[in-house]
Structure formats: structure tokens, C-alpha cells
Amino acid sequence: MIWEQSNRFDPRAVAIADRHYNRQKPGTNQFVPPGSNVVFMTPDERALWVTICQEHVRHAWPGAWVNSLFRNEGAGLSSALIREAVAATRALWPAVPDAGIITFVDGSKIRRKRDPGRCYRKAGWRHVGFTQERRLYVFQQLPAEMPDPEMPTLGLWRHSTA
């Protein structure tokens, strides 16, 4: 397991989040929307993952966990990092919702590729539609398709966040 557990206020994670296209207020001391969340970062501080669980949503997949941020700046193969992040999320949140986990990808904001969300597809996710307002790609992984749970490293206590 490469992922270490972090938190929404970790300044090392904030720096990575500030470089993600969906960051709404770069420079603020936290980067995770309201609700329950898990934050993972690689030990080399080159990748960041956030899963959130929100009760009130405005999308067609209510109840699903949402991968609200994934940024890989060279920490390894993105599809492998995604699989491990889902496994780590499952280890911390064993009650997987029937709708599984989803993510939204803005095809206009990512590096031009053959198909937006390719790393998610390679990690076992499926393209299930688009959001109505912004036409974001939606990818989903159902519980039966998810990797087995695996605990992340408790990196939060290894590093000083002061």
C-alpha cells in the first residue's frame, strides 16, 4: 500500500490540491468539501486522493462515495494508485454504498488524451454518463468491482504538519 492517510488541513496536501483543476479557492488552508472524508497522499508527496461521503447531492448517483480529487504528479501508474486508493477507502469505511464510488472528470481541463478518464477505466471503473450542467464525464465503480480493503499507512503522524 503506497497511500498514507492525511487530512484536509495538511499543508503538503494543500500544495498538491492547489494545482488540481477543480480547486475552487487556491491558497486556503483546506481543500475538501463538507462531509465525511478520507484523504490520502503518497510518501513522496507527488499524488493526492480524496473520497467524500455527502448526504445531500445534486447528481444522479445519490449515496455513492465521491472521489472529489485525484492528482498524480509522477508517483506511479495512475490506475494502480486509483485501485489502491479505493482499497484504502474501503478499509476505513467498510460499509460500501450500493452505488459504489463515482468521480467527475472535466475533459476540457485535463491533458489531451485518447479518452478522458482512461486511468479510471484501466482501474476498473466504467463511464456511466455525464452531469447535466457542466457535461462532466462520470465514472463509477460498483462494490463487486472494487479491490479488497487494504489499510493505508498512518502517515499523518509520521510528518509534522505544523
CATH number, domain containing residue 90: 3.40.630.30
Q: pLDDT tens digits for 45-83? A: 999 999 999 876 777 788 999 999 999 999 999 999 999
> Residue 103: inside a domain, yes or no?
yes
> Residue 139: inside a domain, yes or no?
yes
Greater model confidence, 35 or 137: 137
Could you give the number of structural domains in the chain? 1
> Residue 100: inside a domain, yes or no?
yes
Query: 18-22: which pairs have CB atoms within 8 A and are 24 or more residues apart?
Result: 19/71, 19/73, 20/48, 20/69, 20/71, 21/106, 21/109, 21/110, 22/68, 22/69, 22/106, 22/109
> Residue 26: inside a domain, yes or no?
yes
**3-class SS shares of the chain: helix, strand, coil, % to 5:** 20, 25, 55
Q: Which residues form the domain of 19?
A: 4-156
> Residue 93: inside a domain, yes or no?
yes
- Model's pTM, two decimal places? 0.88
> Residue 162: inside a domain, yes or no?
no
- Res 113: pLDDT: 65
Q: Which residues contact 69 (CB under 8 A, 6 or more apart)?
A: 17, 20, 22, 31, 32, 48, 49, 50
